[in-house]
Amino acid sequence: MGTLLSFNQKRQMKYSDQQVKLLSEMLHGIKILKLYAWEPSYQRKVMDIREREVDVLKSCGYLTAYSMLTLTCIPFMVCFIKVFLYADLFNVLPVAVVSGWLKSIALQYLKNIVSLATFGVYFFLDKENVLTATKVFTSISLFNILRLPLFDLPSVISAVAQTKVSLSRLEDFLFAEDLNPEDVDTNYSGNHAVEIFGASFCWEKNGPPVLKNLTVSIPEGSLVAVVGQVGSGKSSFLSALLGEMEKLEGSVHRRGSVAYLAQQAWIQNGSLQENILFGTNLNRSYYELVLESCALLPDLEQLPNGDQTEIGERGVNISGGQKQRVSLARAVYSNADLYLLDDPLSAVDVHVGKHLFEKLIGPSGLLRSKTRVLVTHNLTILPHADLIIVMEEGKISEMGNYQELISKRANFVELTQVFSAEKKNEKSTPNEGENICIVSSDQWKKLRNNKEKVATGGDLFIVDIRFHYYLRMWLNCTLDVIGTILVITFSSPLFIVVVIPLGYMYFIIQRYYIASSRQIRRLAGASHSPVISHFTETILGGSTIRAFGHQERFIRKNNDVVYENLVYFYNNVISNRWLSVRLEFLGNLMVFFAALFVVLAGNSVSSSAVGLSISYALNIIQSLNFWVRKACEIETNAVSIERVCEYANMDKEKPWITSKRPPAGWPDRGIIEFVNYRAQYRKDLGLALNDISFQTRNEEKVGIVGRTGAGKSTLTNCLFRILEGSGGKIIIDGIDISTIGLHDLRGNLNIIPQDPVLFSGTLQSNLDPLGKHSDHELWEALELCDLKSFVESLPKKLLHEISEGGENLSVGQRQLVCLARVLLRKTKVLVLDEATASIDMETDNLVQSTIKREFYNCTILTIAHRIHTVMDSERVLVLDAGRILEYDTPQNLLQRKGAFSEMVAEAGITR
């Protein structure tokens, strides 16, 4: 039985982990699932795991029920067997003792096995052993002590099975091999900041090498630029310097302290100032200098509480560019010797990028005396670099300063040629201004305040496993208490006089305990959230934490939040002990009065009734204790059911499919019309879009521009009905999109989103989760976006496993996978939302040319982040504060000398 329970518990925990992991991924990438109308596919995945988990839970339930039924029935079976086979045993006992004993066996559960066996052995050991009422009563009283452990035996078996599984998993984790700190020599005393000799690295032990035969020397105080195509090993190069990869051969030497900026910014849940200080003391003058150098002062003016504004988990209430600059400010404030910066300029606009380079990273910036290793796709800064490292397929293909590499006319020249072709249209290749955040600061605070109303995995665990256990135990105890009171009252009718006031006292104690226990549990739950949040945050930022050398600080912080949680847990235990003492006292009062009434009754009560009454009175102590405790557990944990029901009944999106469906092939022209359209994110907030009216032509290419907060991303959200309008219409090819189902709308539109989100699973499932396309079509799409050779080099090719969040692919490769998704589902309308921010110039050129070639007959809306893309548009829509300022061809807008003309002039674009 124990083995079966252990096996099923292991399976249940496995499916539970899979479900939590998948749901976490889905929540992180929920916008992508909705934009592509992929909910049914992932809903099936969740339900499949859930059904398997429920099957295992049923098996565990059946095993537990069988175990309890067996343990409950055995006493009765043994009793009847003993009565019929060993009748002589009962003949030598007094009639009163036999009567009381049989009644006790018939009504009491597990202890009767022990008592019956003990009496039988006692009788057969010696013919002179005679059972008397005194001996039987004393023995049964002692057997009562064993009742609770035997009653809990099935639960103990289940708990042992769960503990065994958890311990084995913890053991696997704790005994996992750590990174070798000696892979990187940090006590280097040579003449350079970094020295690498013939080093090769891989991500996993015994895995294929990712970086091969690296040899490079980086002088102190130099600016080193690392360039190369997508997947060439640029970010891995920084990871190797940090000691985050397995070293296969060679040597790595590094001197001084390190500051690291990851390509995907890591933000802590705390104030903006806390994120920048990162555990160090505040030096006000240097802090303000860092804010100015990182171009954060204008952002502080927009935030409600300045640098004291609380940033949500993963920076939910600030934009991507703000996250990047906060992370950069954290690195700068650390005042380290060596700075490893992974493409910090990719998420900011041209002005901010220029500011960061001139005031911070460049030869005249704040970090001019520091050693800076900068991964970048912005080739305009390369002439200012002291050393340029060109990566290709995990190797250093070229190395030298700008003039040396130009004179060699090798791979580096190819990169610059691609860039130069684009410079004909603009002097730099910036990103456009950051998008307005969907979650504002006040919304985030509201979300945090309402956390208790949101169902969690813990709530589902209580509903699945704990609640019915508490309910079953409470019913058992209720019947036990009622039966016990009836038996005692039958033997001593006066006992009913005592039951009523004692019952009232039980009720008072229960109410007082529940009121206190509920608050203690709420505090314990609130203190548990920081434990999980801090742990998750630490895992996500592990490389950054190790780079800054703050491991001990985060360990102390973890100990602090765990200790705070344990304080409330201890108080919860103490409250339980408080309850137990009082319940034990009341139970002993019942025993006292039961015995007192028997004594007062004298000879009018038979010895069997006396034994039965007293033995049942002894039982009631534990029964009442359990009854009150389980009643409290039921009331407390019923909150989980309420939260799950509330979550299930929350306001949902409009229907996926309605009775009115668009015709096949819709949209066939791609004409989009906004008619007096208005939208707002919340009723108490102002309009994000106000009186928007414009119309595209058939198969037209429209650029959408505007400064931060203009409403560009809001326009996209409204087009896909991520945000429902509060007035006006959006008409696509004659159909008001509000009149059709969401999947009929989203399934016929196309988008390359700003964030390249991937999900754990195969590459094939990430490209085509609905299974609509053949392998041939998948390979064609990969070839068009220059990923075919990379995928062919993978051992499992299309079945290559993508890790959670696509972490085993570079950010550029993830963006190309998103492009492949779009190529697979060609529609008449395509939206580009900062589609090329994380890729190099050559890949950007590939993406742009692929889009122009494959979607030449489509309507394309481009949220402009690279200005030359907008300049090639047929018309440009200029937004400001949710309103349309201008809408015309780029040439006409330039002649008007209006808002668009000012943007072009500020960007330094020439024709």
Average pLDDT in the 101-128 region?
61
- The residue with tokens 């208790």 is 452
Residue pLDDT, tens place only, 354-400:
888 889 998 989 999 999 999 987 777 888 999 999 888 889 888 88
**CA torsion angle for 440, 442, 448, 451 (degrees, to 10)?**
-90
Average pLDDT in the 798-806 region?
84
Q: What is the pLDDT at residue 370?
A: 92
Q: What is the CA radius of gyration of the chain?
A: 36
Q: Is 219 helix (H, G, I), strand (E, B) or coil?
A: strand
Which pTM value belongs to this model? 0.63
Residue pLDDT, tens place only, 612-631:
777 777 777 777 777 777 77
Residue pLDDT, tens place only, 714-725:
888 899 998 888
Q: Is 755 helix (H, G, I), strand (E, B) or coil?
A: coil
Q: What is the pLDDT at residue 328?
A: 92
688 — phi, psi (to 5°)? Answer: -80, -30
Identify each DSSP E strand in 152-210 by its residue range.
Answer: 192-202
Q: Say which residue, 671 or 488, is predicted with more confidence.
A: 671
Split at pLDDT 50, 70, 90, the class of 89 is: very low
The overall longest dimension of the chain from CA atoms, in Å, is 122
Q: Say which residue, 762 or 96, is predicted with more confidence.
A: 762
Split at pLDDT 50, 70, 90, the class of 674 is: very high
- The residue with tokens 């002039």 is 905
683 — phi, psi (to 5°)? Answer: -65, -30
Q: What is the pLDDT at residue 559?
A: 93
> CB-hemisphere CA count at 13 Å for 449?
6
Q: Say which residue, 411 or 795, is predicted with more confidence.
A: 795
Average pLDDT in the 54-65 region?
77
**CA torsion angle for 589, 594, 598, 601 (degrees, to 10)?**
90
Q: What is the pLDDT at residue 27?
A: 72
- Is residue 802 within 8 Å of 758, Cβ to Cβ? yes
Split at pLDDT 50, 70, 90, the class of 425 is: very low
In this structure, the strands spanning 701-705 and 875-880 are parallel
Q: What is the pLDDT at residue 112?
A: 57
Split at pLDDT 50, 70, 90, the class of 426 is: very low
Split at pLDDT 50, 70, 90, the class of 101 is: very low
Q: Is 478 helix (H, G, I), strand (E, B) or coil?
A: helix
Q: What is the pLDDT at residue 85?
A: 47
Q: Say which residue, 20 or 120, is predicted with more confidence.
A: 120
Residue 589 pLDDT > 50: yes
Distance CA 289, CA 296 (A): 10
Identify each DSSP E strand in 401-484 by its residue range.
Answer: none
Residue 638 vs residues 134, 457, 468, 511, 650: alpha-carbon distances, Å: 46, 15, 11, 16, 18
Distance CA 464, CA 641 (A): 10
304 contact partners, CB below 8 Å, separation of at least 6 = 441, 442
Candidates 493, 475, 474, 499; CA nearest to 591 is 499
In whole numbers, what is the pLDDT of the chain averaged over residues?
A: 79
Q: What is the pLDDT at residue 428?
A: 35
